[in-house]
Amino acid sequence: MKKSSLCGVNKCLLDVYNLLPFNNPDGGAWKQGFEISYHGNEWDEQPLEVLLVPHSHNDPGWLKTFENYYQDQTKHILNNMLIKLTEDSRRKMIWAEISYFSKWWNDIDEQKREMVKRLVAAGQLELVTGGWVMADEANSHYFALLDQLIEGHQWMQRHLGVRPSSGWAVDPFGHSPSMAYLLKGAGLSNMVIQRVHYAVKKHFAQQQTLEFLWRQSWDSSPSRDITCHMMPFYSYDVPHTCGPNPAVCCQFDFHRLPGGRAMCPWKKSPQPITEQNVQERALLLLDQYRQKSLLFRSHVLLVPLGDDFRFVEASEWDAQFSNYQKLFDYFDQHPELHVKARFGTLSDYFQALHHRLNATRTALPTLGGDFFTYADRDDHYWSGYFTSRPFYKRLDRTLEATLRATEILFSLTLAEMRRFRGDGRLVSDFPAREHFQRLTAGRQSLALFQHHDAVTGTARDPVVVDYGTRLLHSILNLRQVLQSSAHWLLLLDKSQYYHDQSKPFMQMDDVISAHDTLPLKTTLVLNDEPRSLIIFNPTEQLRSSVISVVVDSPDANVVDAATGQSMTAQISAVWAQPNQASTEQFQLNFVAELPPLSLVVYHVTKAPFGSAHRARYTFYRRGNPPAVQSEHFQVSRQEGPEADGPLLLSNKHIRIWSSPETGLLQKLRLQSGPVREVRVQFLWYGTRRNQDKSGAYLFLPGEEGAQLYSSSEPPLVRVSRGPVFSDITSCFRHFTHTVRLYHLDGHAGRSLEISNTVDIRSEFNRELVMRLVTDVTSGNCFYSDLNGFQMQQRRTLQKLPLQANFYPMTSAAFLQDVASRVSLLSAQSQAVASLRPGELEVVLDRRLQQDDNRGLGQGVTDNKLTASLYHLLLEDRRGGAEEVGGASFEHLSLLAHLTSLSLNHLPITMVAPSNTQVPKLRSYLPLHSSLPCDVHLLNLRTLEDSQEADSPSQEVALLLHRKGFDCSSAPEPQLQCTWSAQEEVDLDRLFSPLRFRSVRRSGLTLLREDDQPESARLPAPPHIARLRPMEISAFRVEVA
């Protein structure tokens, strides 16, 4: 596809950034805006229509835990909502967080549930967005964003029989078009956003483009556009929603009436509305409404009424509703004012808006791009939370990968059981219902953590502990489902299946002992009897993977259980200290060939002495050669002239040169090309001295900028070489950094694995950064991903402060010029920047002693020993890139997509017991071949039974994502998988020999009413489906 204008729309955010001066002049009453004036006759032809939308923003955890907020505030808000909305049919309310709403629903009786249904049916109560939470849009991965929407929408459909039509995201700290795409795909047609850079808001207000059609940058068709309303002012609270002057608007927040706890900081309090003051009050409020309406293209005005945890007490409901009703009645009695005002929901607003736009034939502009990085005032950019609490950002992705793997294996297990029995029923002693409940709890834990104070790292310490505990428990519970499912699938004689919760047949090969510790490998005790290792490949691709387990012997042998073939293996040391190898534990690494979605059985035995390939080690330390303890391994120390030459490692595809002093990468060469500069550096950022400082949300670096990391003593550098992998490890005081090359054929050997273990608990107001310095002539452009779903061009602008040029990176970033591209793929979210041409840096951890005045009331000092994992890819480019899947839009290459897939979905290793009575296990290979390399199996999610709650149904949600990819860099050697230029695919051939009894395309959240009608259902093969590049497709299927 050929390239068109940068976004293919009439307004592109990159162009807006180029245009704006970012000079922040004082706008008067509307400090970040401008004076608004009018004559008064603008509404004579078309009266102003005002919809006041009551809302209460309930964070599922922030200053208190989810549970404590619910008990202290949320349940009272919802209890009062039932009473107060029922009292007067003109009253309305919107609610967003299904996590809270579902918890409350479980607490109330049938009579109250019927009242809820009546209020919903009458349009008095509207559930908006319908997500489990109001999700963060910077750090969240698109799997989790969609999963929390599915969880919420399925709950709404099951319990209330309704679906959301409008999105409401007033508190996430910046907004992503990936979310807009998911909402539209889930059947929503409108959305509201709030936290956008104040200079962008002002520009949009001046242009009257605060309402627009948001289009994906890769999309040329309007069919996936969604109507978006951007709130114009500083906040979603009452002082900043009625109009441009907060001192006036605060007087119409009747929760702040004199005598209560809440006050107006502008020193003018609200007054109860009486017959004596109603005229003066109504005209004062109308003036604000009129000014605000002039920022929009229609005469329909959205005015939210609410704030965090509002409407707890009955008295607040009465104060707000009765005083506003008096004002509305006054407007009604005075038609010469040309205003109609009423309480409304978001649906009411957008219905009125579209009606008015159609009547006046007014078109909204289309817009492409995203709304990062957010600043709410001055140079206070919210780029700190892209990295805050990185330990939990990594745990989030561990749970996500575990959940997806478990969903797929569980769904396959149920299908195989039904086939095995032949009557469509499940095996009686398999705990399908309990496992389904564990899956549901796992979905809900992952969903809860997508909240914009959870994965962001912006909650109080005890709340972080609560989230972490939930994440860990879910991982452990899902592992039970995984083990139990694998157990049944692998048994040759299915009658030997048993389920014993206290003694599971299989164990994982590692233990996570607490929510704030890294996993530890368990040691396998070897003897002459083979130990069975079961490896699950959760990806849809055949892959060569290196499997690492810890054993108690330096001599071990691995064979494929099915063929008896010996696997390439190496024994490496387990380093108790950087220079001291364990004498009890050894790392056994072997190359496994794993078919897609397979469970493969390997046998490990103790081998004759000296028969296993052992890694060889070389140690370096400038000026102070280390004493090394390692009785089982060959170790040499480099001294003299050799020690000054660069450290060299290579495999069939890549050669690297590293510094002998630091062990850090300096140069890289693809076997086909010239030597390229790719240097790794570590740096510190401090924070400002005399004014506002960095905290959980904000990144406010000191004027000195980044300072190169230096340590008083030189690092210990350890080089290992072996037949499976070779690596260089640098042990610094605050981090251990390893760069590893795998000796693998195919694409797995094409990238460089980079891993860090970081510990900055000794530091004070510092942030640690890893920077790549390359010779790519990238100018001021680089690319980072949005939610792992799409790439977004970024431009580093000198007119912006340093912290403004940092962006979220969920899973990928790259630099490129005409000849080459350097991609950094990551297994966790963090901040990324390219401050100079050819440079790319990621923030690894931040420790900040103070609050940054955004309401949290604490710094970030609960740092942990934190791991981060990357793959670095250098690719040649051939000029004139053709794109598959978008206008002028850059995608990852197919090689980068596959590398990212394997990085985010590691093989899962399980261990069978060591006794001789182990029943016969047979590898499970559900697919004949890999899916096409541009088709990703996003999920295979068993749906809840519509008759029996908390039980699995025969229906499964099949979610496929067809990736857009860049064709300018075709890897050598060619990839093993295929891709097709055709959009039509045969699902039966794709998943052969699995069979689908029925296939119905549905919406992204699998709501019944989004299913294709019966006539379009595909009952018999072939099941042909259209998968467009970049699109996610959802099908309701029965796996036969």
Is there a catalytic annotation at residue 171? yes
Neighbours of 943 (CB within 10 A): 18
Residue 56 burial (10 A CB sphere; 0-12, 13-18, 19+): buried
Q: Which of 719, 739, 709 is nearest to 578 (CA)?
A: 719
Evaluate whether 598 touches 926 at the Cβ level (below 8 Å): yes
Main-chain phi, psi angles of 85, to 5 degrees: -70, -35
How is residue 809 written in tokens? 């990176």
Residue 916 burial (10 A CB sphere; 0-12, 13-18, 19+): exposed
Catalytic residue from among 136, 171, 376, 862: 171
CA 452 to chain centre: 11
For residue 100, which amino acid is it?
Y
Query: Residue for token digits 């076997």?
Result: 671
Evaluate whether 770 touches 684 at the Cβ level (below 8 Å): no
Q: Which of 727, 764, 97 is nearest to 448 (CA)?
A: 97
- Cα distances (angstroms) measured from residue 794 to each of 176, 217, 341, 557, 782: 14, 13, 43, 49, 5
* Sheet containing 996-1002, strands listed edge to edge, beginning at the edge strand earlier in sequence: 935-944, 952-962, 1032-1039, 996-1002
Main-chain phi, psi angles of 393, to 5 degrees: -65, -35
C-alpha–C-alpha distance, residues 496 and 498, integer Å: 6
C-alpha–C-alpha distance, residues 432 and 955, integer Å: 14
Q: Vertex 175, ends 346 and 806: CA angle to 5°?
A: 165
How is residue 493 written in tokens? 């004689």
Query: Residue for token digits 């709890």?
Result: 441
891: left (phi over 0), alpha (psi -120 to 50) or beta: beta
Query: Checking DSSP bridges between strand 654-658 and strand 531-536, what pairing results, if any?
Result: unpaired
DSSP-derived secondary structure for 290-341? HHHHTTSSSSEEEEEEEEET---SHHHHHHHHHHHHHHHHHHHH-GGG-EEE
Evaluate whether 542 touches 611 at the Cβ level (below 8 Å): no
Helix axes 75-87 and 110-121, enclosed angle (nearest 10): 60
C-alpha–C-alpha distance, residues 649 and 668, integer Å: 10
Evaluate whether 144 touches 447 at the Cβ level (below 8 Å): yes
Give percent helix, percent strand, percent coil of the chain, each to the nearest 5. 25, 30, 45
Q: Give the list of residues 6+ apart from residue 939 with CB closer than 8 angstroms, or none.
A: 143, 147, 404, 407, 408, 957, 958, 959
Q: Vertex 788, ends 787 and 792: CA angle to 5°?
A: 75
Evaluate whether 728 touches 717 at the Cβ level (below 8 Å): yes
Task: Give Dmax over CA atoms of the chain in angstroms.
Answer: 99
Evaluate whether 285 touches 252 at the Cβ level (below 8 Å): yes
**130: helix, strand or coil:** coil
C-alpha–C-alpha distance, residues 1028 and 611, integer Å: 52
Evaluate whether 751 touches 799 at the Cβ level (below 8 Å): no
Helix spans in 57-109 (H): 66-69, 75-87, 98-107
Catalytic residue positions, numbered: 171
